[in-house]
Amino acid sequence: MKVLLVSNSARGHAIAEALKRSPKNPEIIAVCTGKDPGMAKLAAEVHQADLAGLYKIVEIGRNAKVDFAIVAPDDPIGAGLSDRLEGSGIPTVAPKRNLARIESSKSYARELMKKYGINAGPAFRVFSFTSISEKRKLEIEIHKYIEEHLHGHYVVKYDALKGGKGVKVSGEHLTTIDVGAKYAMECIEQCGVVVIEEKLMGVEFSLMSFVQGDQTVDMPAVQDHKRAFKDDSGPNTGGMGTYSDSNHGLPFIMPEDLKTASECNKKVAEALKKEENEIYKGILYGGFMATADGVKIIEYNARFGDPEALNVLPILESDFTEICLAILEGRLTADMVKFANKATVCKYITPKSYPEGKKEKGQKVYLPEKYPENVRIYFGDITMDENGNTLLGGSRSIGVVGIGDTIEEAEQAAQSVCEQINGPVRFRADIGTMESIQKRVDLMNKLRKQ
């Protein structure tokens, strides 16, 4: 069996590892943006390609006579790579372009949920303009909506894919209503549409599901840390690290919160099927916030999260290749999917100047020769030169994942290996620590008492 795997990050490395654990032992035909050392060890073939070149990717898959494909990154999914692959006779674990708008268009996602009565979201409005005269009025209208309807507590969302960096929040990135209105106008000028939402108070978490049509099977809940620096400070990133608990919930959420999130994922899958008259085949990633008023939907993604995939795939006890085939063949069931009752903590090693600079690009990074059995290393924006040196890219470099019976045990395992990685790099040592988690528990306890 041959599998085409399209990857640009550590997420793809984790997917490849999960595929290779299968008794089917599939041959992986990898298409990557660089010389990925993780993929080089696991794949039968590694092709370097621009992931915007959809025709080239399809050609690689056809020439290799693959049995199916998995597309990991958001950009090629949003651009319609699944449509191209399926059109060439290659079944693909990734939604088609129209279904992937649940991620690639924030306005589509909100309007879809509104239409199908999925009322777990914040108050929102979609703004756009078609003429210069409308444009002049629009900034005033946006300012008025933020001030009068949202009372100055708001979130501005760029309507297209922007690598997780298109969302800006009042009081954090946007200091005044004027600044927020100007950013909203910039978004409209760049992509034609902007979504402005009520700012929610609470703690965020992610719940991913395997999806085939309206059948959803959940993975363990995960919490991501988007901010670049300790104590959730600094600019947003693609994600500096994550953790999951051994009970597959999280310390700050209630069982009913997890149930609500699961129901939301299922309702969104059902809504997509009704709206597009098409079967969603792949991963649906719900981004949620636990609030005093219950769980609210922040956003949806149409693929595995990165780093979230690095938490859930290492503890997947079931045959991942078989799960993919079941998704493609319409026979996915809950009893096919089993995760170990283990906690995980992922900490991303990044260049020191990430996310705002790339001055360390091309410099060497040194990893320990050996690390404990309960630690996994996944390569992201890393390349190998002809001498076997490990070189930094400009983005997130290495995902270090600790696995344990408790979050504390997993965190200590990840931390110990992170401290042994040398070079012009850094990581967030606070991710997954008891102190950091307790702050979230305390915040939720405070909000629930209000």
Q: Distance between CA 34 and CA 47 in Å, rounded?
A: 9
pLDDT at 364: 97
pLDDT in tens, 238-283: 999 999 999 999 999 999 999 999 999 999 999 999 999 999 999 9
Q: 3-state DSSP call for residue 185?
A: helix
- Answer yes or no: is pLDDT of 135 > 80: no
- Answer yes or no: is pLDDT of 164 > 80: no
pLDDT at 132: 63
**Domain-wise residue ranges, the chain:** 2-94, 123-198, 203-438
Q: For the sheet containing 68-71, what is the strand order?
A: 45-48, 27-32, 2-7, 68-71, 92-93
Its pTM stands at: 0.95
- Answer yes or no: is pLDDT of 131 > 70: no
Q: Distance between CA 169 and CA 199 in Å, rounded?
A: 7
Q: Say what percent of the chain tops pLDDT 90.
A: 89
What is the CB neighbour count within 10 angstroms for residue 316? 18
pLDDT in tens, 199-235: 999 999 999 999 999 999 999 999 999 999 999 999 8
Distance of CA 426 to the CA centre of its chain: 21
User: What is 2-94's CATH number?
Assistant: 3.40.50.20
Burial class of residue 214, CB neighbours in 10 A (0-12, 13-18, 19+): middle
- Answer yes or no: is pLDDT of 32 > 90: yes
pLDDT at 235: 87
Q: Distance between CA 346 and CA 429 in Å, rounded?
A: 10
pLDDT in tens, 298-349: 999 999 999 999 999 999 999 999 999 999 999 999 999 999 999 999 999 9
Place of tokens 């595995």: 304
Contacts with 238 (C-beta within 8 Å, 6 or more apart), sequence order = 163, 164, 165, 226, 306, 355, 395, 396
pLDDT at 62: 98
pLDDT at 163: 67
- Answer yes or no: is pLDDT of 366 > 70: yes
pLDDT at 139: 86
Section 146-162 average pLDDT: 90
Section 417-435 average pLDDT: 98
pLDDT at 133: 63
pLDDT at 1: 97
Strands 390-392 and 382-384: antiparallel
CA distances from 309 to 109, 299, 313 (A): 22, 17, 6
pLDDT in tens, 36-58: 899 999 999 999 999 999 999 99
| CA angle, 139 then 144 then 149, to 5° | 135
Q: Can you name the CATH fold of 123-198?
A: Dna Ligase; domain 1 (3.30.1490)
Q: Distance between CA 11 and CA 17 in Å, rounded?
A: 10
Q: Who wins on pLDDT, 134 or 179?
A: 179
- Answer yes or no: is pLDDT of 160 > 90: no
pLDDT in tens, 381-403: 999 888 989 999 999 999 999 99
CATH 3.30.470.20, applies to 203-438: yes
